[in-house]
Chains A and B, each alone.
Chain A
Amino acid sequence: DIQMTQSPSTLSASVGDRVTITCRASQSISHYLAWYQQKPGKAPKLLIYGASTLEGGVPSRFSGSGSATDFTLTISSLQPDDFATYYCQHYHTYPYTFGQGTNLEIK
């Protein structure tokens, strides 16, 4: 199985900050990477797929980049609604696997 490792596990930031979350795959997954946002008690929400393509309706302050094994999710200017847990997920081959999550909390 391809292992996905996110860093950091917890990130403290303030409204207006620019933040970056990193995801590393244990082997090359090309651009087959998605990012999700999950709030407590809710289902995950797809933000980005194809490593950098924004899902419809997702604010443009979210962006993704990377390929092969190293990927990043960037939020350009944090808004109050962005404090949540973020997961990366590869879909290069079965089985699909997720990162362990990054908890983005208010500083």
Chain B
Amino acid sequence: QLQLQESGPGLVKPSETLSLTCTVSGDSITSSSYYWAWIYQPPGRGLEWIGTIYYSGSSYSGSTYYNPSLKSRVSISIGASKTQFSLKMTSVTAADTAIYFCARDREGVGTFDSWGQGTLVTVSS
């Protein structure tokens, strides 16, 4: 059974870099049928897609697609073990305080059929 689990610091200082990892079990990140995404949700607010990665087989970075509103600050990559993918967001501010979810994008069409439980990241000094 597919499971996704986010991990990383729960507190990040303003202007620093947020780094999160999603560990995937029960399925392969390298499967050609799936893409892998990050989505976040500020407290009490709605959902926002951050970006998606697809393992292309040629490099660890994969093919990536980012929300233009965040593109200059985010990067998503696949770990060497091929069981994890990661999010880095630079120059964070209080507005980036949110619950961060990793999710599977079935067949890369944009429907998120499996999600991690989410991890709260607070940006504060």
- A interface residues with partner B (beta carbon < 8 Å): 1, 32, 34, 36, 42-46, 49, 55, 87, 89-91, 94-101
Contact = CB atoms under 8 A, between A and B. Distances in A.
Nearest to A90: B110
Contact of B109 (A91, A95, A100): A91
Interface string B46-68: 11110000000000000001111
Interface stretch (B7-15, B23-31, B88-96, B115-123): B115-123
A98 B111 contact: no
Provide the main secondary structure of the chain B interface. loop
B69 interface: yes
Given A94-B65, A95-B67, A43 B47 contact: no
A27 to B, nearest CB: 16
Interface of B: 46-49, 65-69, 101, 103, 109-113, 115-118
Contact of A97 (B49, B112, B117): B49
B50 to A, nearest CB: 9
Contact of B111 (A34, A99, A101): A34
Nearest to A49: B111
Contacts of A100: 46
6 contacts: A34-B110, A43-B101, A45-B115, A46-B113, A91-B109, A100-B46
Most buried by A among B49, B66, B101, B118: B49
A98 B65 CA distance: 17
